[in-house]
Structure 1
Amino acid sequence: MRLVYHILVYVITISPIIKCHRPFGGHFESLDDNNLNHLQTEPPCDVCPRNGVCVPKVQCPAHVNPGSSNPRCHIDGQHVGVCCCTGSNHFEPKETQRVAASIEDLNSAHQQSKKKLDELVKRADSLLNEKDTVVKESDPSYGHHMFTRAVGSKAQELGRIGFLSLLLVQELKSREAISAEDLGSGIHRNAEGSFCLPPPLCPRKPSKYRNLDGTCNNSKNPSWGAIFTGFERLLPPEYRDGTWAFRLSVTNGILPNSRAVSNAVILDGHYPSRSHNAMFTQFGQFITHDISSGVVFTTGNDSAISCCSKDGQDVLPLELQHWACAAISISPKDPFYSQFNRRCINFVRGVLAPSHDCLIGYAKQMNGVSHFLDLSHIYGNSEEKLASLRAPGGLLKTFDDFGRELPPLTKENQCLTSNNVSPCFDSGDNHANQILSLTALHTLFTREHNRIARALYKLNPHLDEEALFFETRRIVQAEFQNIVYKEWLPLLIGPKMMKMFKIFTLDGYSQVYDPSTNPSITAEFSGAAMRFGHSIVDGKMLVFSPQTGSVDEILSLPETMFLPSRLRLKYFLDRLLTGMCMQPMQNVDPFMTSALSRYLFRGGNPFGHDLAAINIQRGRDYGLRPFNDYRVLIGSKPFTSFQQFPAKTAQRLSSVYTHPHDIDLWVGGLLEKPIDGGILGATFSQIIGDQFTKLKKGDRYFYEHGPDVNPGAFTPSQLSEIKKVTLARIICDNSDHIELLTQSPYAFLRRDLSGNQPVPCDSTVIPQMDLNKFRDL
């Protein structure tokens, strides 16, 4: 169902009058000057009717539907939300569920869709014998393939099931056996021989430790948050066919080319932050890799699909394209790529996830990792992967580089060069080699696990190896979650948003767990909002010497991708960590370094990928709605004219987009001014705030939850110690201690800020966790 945003703006829909309860009186105004609250003359409720809950508007998608009845209400003394009875559901629940299609239709359509899938697979396999249908290792697309491929073959196997479900829906839709409304509510797959994944098998007594694959976190919905499940939705997707096809312009034409939008709107620029540093940027990517990893289709032999011919000189003819191809064509007048005769950027669509509830509907893209903040990129998401990463004594494997612990080496082809001199490192997700600063964080958390494991063994020599390992994992995961919510997130969305979403880290146990909250990552978060981080990347990496007090080396970002061997240099890790804490990040804005928009994964080529164009195309692949729809969702006015933007921005936007309602979510989010106290605009702030609320409220094993919720809860004294841990402490405890002997207390802020000058690592200004509280585990 398409959101009719202009109806919401210009028409007050006549709906049943629901009176609010206001026992305390008072009147509050929303902090958002661009909200839609001016359409309602009634003051906010103090008590919601119908047992509704007062939540931020982004957390009640049904409020945008014409005819909805969601009175305004007080979230707290500063923020106004809406009374919600539907939770994250897009529509009001129906009293009775209509049978969408007959058994005969389902069975017939299922047989037809199986036949079609067999034909597509057979055709795709035959393409392997054709020229240019598989990406060469020398092409920039191969680097992107390494970044988007899943560990093991299970993702592609499940992806076939997900794709079969899509074909079934498309067949039913072509027969007019289902409606657009049915696609949103889901159709039960009771067809003969259909694939309906069984729920995970969970023990009657829950484990003290969270499962590696994310299953069994929620006893009633054991697949919520599990690896290889689909991204959820804040709003229903906008596919032009209702199922999977890229959306159209509001004028029913084709949307502007993604590379054209990148060229016109996402410019190269250097606008350093006055407060946040490069460590903030890198930690954001580290978080993202833990909870969100889109997976793309591959060939039958798991090779990278090519949608471009002659090394990118053109788009492959349709008869040679894989079904998952959605190549980005490049204009012959492109200011950059034309000089290399490049006319095509390779783009492969995301793998579709099968459902665990036996419902089929519109396409849902697969998350290749567990959705929880569980350090899966350190520990892996399967028993097999973890076994390959473990060492005796409850430790993680490491590469002993003359007494320095580095992540273990891998024999897989994950780097541009791999030999005894140029190491290639292993990790839980096979992404650790993407960029040197990311490898540095993998190094820190691998060392932190081993540091704690050794200390715990001294305190608890009775622990067997298995218990020692998982107790350590439980503590390190808690440290990571504490850093995310206590240090990183408040600097991203600001204290007012933290308060509005009620996700501040407080003393003692949390009381917010809600088993009805699905913690799964949303497509809007993964496909757009969290990709704000690509705007804040600097094209150069500063390697700073603490001893000399000057920059020791300046590295071009493309030269650090899939080339982690510099970490073997004796002083490099300390100098890199110092530089990351000192170097400012770039501001969140519609600017992106050419290192990402022209030279991404360049390898030995004079050109690379355009990450901005890929982000725009990925949003369309995921069916993300226009930027305006999400502004309406959070309670802001949609843009109806390009003239509402600053003059230069309006000119750039109108040169590619036909109407403001066509603007892609990722592009629009970067155009918004930062909210008070944060670095993001209102739309991205609320999408991200909503997601981290779900990751806390919907995760039974979240470190702050008490023993009434969390089977592996910490004692009050243990939790108090964990809450002392900061990233500064992680750096101090796990650097090489050759040159890095001091550290700024606030590791995500620039070292030159007043009050953030470096102090000795043993200073009480950087608190230490007392592991004695973990004696007698």
Structure 2
Amino acid sequence: MTKWRNAKLLSLSICLVTLVSLTNGADLKDRARAALLLERSTGKCKVGISQPCPPSKFRSASGECNNFNHRYWGARGDPFLRLLEPDYADDRIKPRTSVGSHALPAPDTIIDQLQRSIPVGAVHPHVTAMLPAWGQLLSYDLVQILSPHSSFRCCRNDSTTAATDEIIQCYVRTGEGCKEYKRSIPSTEPGTCKFEYRDQMNAASGFLDGSGLYGTTEKEILALRTFTNGKVDIKACLRCNEPGAIGALHTILLKEHNRIADEMSKLNKEWSDTTLFYETRRAVIAQIQHITYNEFLPIVLGSQIANSPDLRIENGKHYTGYSSSNRAGVFNEVAVGAIPAFLTMLPPDMYNESASAEILISTPSMQQTFIPDHATFNDEWTPIALALQRGRDHGVPSYHKALNLCEKRFGIPYGSKLTFDDMEYFGLSPEKRKALEKIYQDAEDIDLLVGGLSETATLGTVFGPTLTCLLAIQFANLRNSDRFWYENDLPPSSLNLPQLQAIRRVTLSGLLCEAKGVPKAQPKAFIREDPYLNARLNCEQLSGLDVTPWRSEIVEED
């Protein structure tokens, strides 16, 4: 017993040291340490007193103080939320096993066998590559998962076994040996004194707030600013240089920032650089939110769900659905079980090669499928295999439990026991059902993301019913838990009605034109060009944000 206890204390010490060098997360070290210590604590802990949040017109970088009553809800470092009770093998920490208590098939094995058994996804008949690219942009804004950064090697020298430490665990075994995987950094709510099960840290803010573009810390924002007329230095944007669609979108949005800052400085010569920067940032964030809910979600979720009260954009008035009692944050099931699905819709040549706005609006998207094996992450993992591994690490329940949740919320017919034959109802072809039956011992073992991607997209949506359900819940929560949401009427942070109406006239095509990203564009940038229904127009016919309503309205906040 003493030897076991000493080993546990040693592994905890190693992990606490590695937290000092967390990549992009040194400021979150204390939060992670508290979560790890709580897992091993049996005594009392001190409950900190939360400092009051002063009224502010502008968002913080981290999302802190978005909620006056709950300072850290949705802030950087907050735990991912849960829609379902977690599924751990020991109900606390250890990743889930099969319903028969056997080891689940390795993520690489699942992806490899599905790629061999299921035809490659076809070109989407209606949607452009801009749609999954925008989905990837939202992922950068909403989800950032951290792992310990250290020289500790999980896999042994013979590459066939793995360490089984609960903190820095690398328990992945594939048909070809062991693959490095360090468990996601945990987190807990400040003041929590009782450990029930491990939750994982989200190093992004839990709001759709442009933090993927501007940064989640004041240091990152300062590094981006030029301190001249509210503008940003696009050369200082690291993600602008990333290959693929994400670099193109970040560049376009920062060009839009500089255009708006330029226009606002001409309208309001008395404004300081600080006021110009934060007013412009607020306008860019509002455009991202509006494009997402007005153009993106109706295609992803279908018009019926997107037109529900929680998601429908208001006309001529402010939104009244915000409540400080709504818990802000990103759901674990969505972070690793739904949002990664957008990556499967990107054309294969857009993973690692440069892309432009012109290419994104003229190239068809792929229909949902499993990512080609040439798209890798850190030379180790394909993105979908990594998402599957993280799902198990995070205690995300299996596909059938998500079906049960969505039946209650959206009326998806589902019984208490799932069989492979039942999956025919969700559009799974005989080939897909047969492939899954070869991989999993039981239909209730199927990983959430695998089951969701295996479903056939329902009419008017891009995903099947389960992923559509999870995304609808998440985007409703993003809106009704955000005090700074662009449609709210909550001074001092709200837009006035003329400003709000100007935002509501914005389209993605107009934004692309204003940023000089394209010479022409179809009015609906997420939909493929059609000579009759969605013909390309000259940019002179597609205007961007009119900043006239911002003339001399703002009081300085230096």
TM-score, scaled to structure 2: 0.89
Instruction: Give the SS at the match of 1:585.
Output: strand
Matched residue SS, 1:158: helix
Equivalent residue number for residue 259 of structure 1: 108
Structure 2 residue identity aligned to 1:329: R
Q: Match of 1:490?
A: 298
TM superposition shift of 1:477: 0.9
**Pick aligned residue for 2:59 from 189, 199, 210:** 210
- Checking the alignment, whether the CA contact within 8 Å between 1:290 and 1:369 is kept in structure 2 is yes
Aligned length: 534
Alignment counterpart, residue 578 of structure 1, candidates 358, 361, 367: 358
Q: Which has the larger radius of gyration?
A: 1
SS at match of 2:83: coil
Deviations 1:220-279 (A, max 9, x none): 112111000100100110111111111121122222222222222255714110111111
Per the TM alignment, residue 714 of structure 1 is displaced from its structure 2 partner at its CA by 1.0
The yes-or-no answer on 1:723 pairing with 2:550 is no
Corresponding position of 1:328: 172
Structure 1: stretches of 5+ with no match in the other structure: 1-111, 129-145, 173-190, 333-342, 399-406, 410-424, 542-556, 561-565, 567-572, 603-607
In the alignment, does 2:257 pair up with 1:449? yes
**Aligned mate of 1:318, from 154, 160, 163:** 163
Q: Secondary structure at the match of 1:466?
A: helix
Task: Tell me the distance in 2 between the aligned counterparts of 1:741 and 1:286.
Answer: 23
Say if 2:281 is the partner of 1:458: no
Gaps of 5+ in 2: 408-412, 554-558
**In the alignment, what sits opposite 2:123?**
272
Aligned partners of 2:148 and 2:25: how far apart in 1? 13
Shift of 1:499: 2.8
Q: 1:426-575 alignment to 2 at 5 Å?
A: 426=238, 431-500=239-308, 502-507=310-315, 508-541=317-350, 557-558=351-352, 560=353
In structure 1, C-alpha distance between the alignment counterparts of 2:320 and 2:185, rounded to whole Å: 37
Match for residue 367 of structure 2? 587
Distance 1:495 1:359 in 2: 44
What is the deviation of 1:643? Answer: 2.7
Q: Please give the TM-score of this superposition, normalised by the length of structure 1.
A: 0.65
Distance 1:394 1:114 in 2: 59
Q: CA RMSD in A?
A: 2.6
Deviation at 1:688, TM superposition (A): 0.7
Instruction: Say if 2:153 is the partner of 1:153.
Output: no
CA distance in 2, matches of 1:447, 1:532: 28
Q: Deviations over 1:3-27 (max 9, x none)?
A: xxxxxxxxxxxxxxxxxxxxxxxxx
1:630 counterpart SS class: helix
Instruction: Name the SS for the 2:127 alignment partner.
Output: strand
Query: Are the structure 2 counterparts of residues 125 and 724 from structure 1 closer, same or farther at C-alpha, using a change threshold of 3 Å?
Result: closer
SS of 2:61's partner is coil
1:319-373 per-position Cα deviation (integer Å, ceiling 9, x unaligned) = 8x784223432214xxxxxxxxxx3332121110132242432111000111111
Following TM superposition, the consecutive aligned residue runs of length 4 or more in structure 1 with deviations greater than 6 angstroms are 112-117
For residues 118 and 580 of structure 1, the distance between their equivalents in structure 2, rounded to whole angstroms, comes to 51
User: Which protein is richer in helix relative to its size?
Assistant: 2
Structure 1 position 609, deviation (Å): 2.5
- Alpha-carbon distance in 1 for matches of 2:242, 2:49: 35
Letter of the 2:364 counterpart: P
C-alpha contact 1:227 1:371 (8 A) present in aligned 2: yes
* 1:740-751 equivalences in 2 (<5 Å): 740-751=518-529
Secondary structure of residue in 2 paired with 1:308: coil
1:199 deviation in Å? Answer: 2.6
Letter in structure 1 aligned against 2:326: T
1:420 corresponds to which residue? Answer: none
- Asked if residue 630 in structure 1 is aligned to residue 390 in structure 2, the reply is no
1:613 matches 2:385: yes
Q: Aligned to 2:321, what secondary structure does the other structure show?
A: coil
Secondary structure at 2:298 match in 1: helix
Q: CA deviation at 1:201?
A: 4.1
Change (3 A) 1:658 1:155: same
Change (3 A) 1:752 1:526: same
**Deviation per residue, 1:348-401 (Å, 9 max, x gap):** 211101322424321110001111111112221222221111112243442xxx
| Cα distance in 2 between the residues matched to 1:753 and 1:366 | 47
For residues 125 and 243 of structure 1, the distance between their equivalents in structure 2, rounded to whole angstroms, comes to: 20
User: Closer, same or farther in 2 for the Cα pair 1:288/1:458, shift >3 Å?
Assistant: same
Report what 1:375 is aligned to: 210
Higher relative contact order (CA 8 A, sep 6+): 2
- Residue 586 of structure 1: CA displacement? 0.8
In the alignment, the residues of structure 2 paired with residue 734 and residue 683 of structure 1 have an alpha-carbon distance, to the nearest angstrom, of: 36
Gap change, CA 1:483 and 1:117, over 3 Å in 2: farther
Question: What's the CA shift string for 1:86-122, capped at 9, x where partnerless?
Answer: xxxxxxxxxxxxxxxxxxxxxxxxxx99987652244
Judged with a 3 Å threshold, the aligned counterparts in structure 2 of structure 1 residues 449 and 768 are, in CA distance, closer, same or farther, namely closer
- For residue 462 of structure 1, report the CA deviation from its aligned partner: 1.1
- Which residue identity is paired with 2:90? D
Of residues 472-481 and 532-541 in structure 1, the stretch that sits farther from structure 2 once superposed is: 532-541
SS at match of 1:240: coil
Q: Distance in 2 between matches of 1:240 and 1:753?
A: 55
Deviation at 1:678, TM superposition (A): 0.9
Q: CA 1:113/1:315 → structure 2, altered by over 3 Å: closer, same or farther? A: closer
> What is residue 141 of structure 2 aligned with on the other side?
290
- What letter matches 2:484 in structure 1? Y
Whole-Å separation in 1 of the counterparts to 2:402 and 2:193 = 26
Distance 1:580 1:745, change over 3 A: same
SS at match of 2:307: helix
> Aligned match of 1:364 in 199, 224, 227?
199
The equivalent of 1:85 in structure 2 is none
Q: Answer whether contact 1:214 1:370 (CA < 8 A) is retained.
A: yes
Q: Distance in 1 between matches of 2:507 and 2:182?
A: 39
Match of 1:120 among 7, 11, 19: 11
Query: Contact 2:170–2:182 at 8 Å: present in 1 too?
Result: yes
Q: Deviations over 1:177-204 (max 9, x none)?
A: xxxxxxxxxxxxxx45x3645435412x
Q: Percent identity?
A: 25
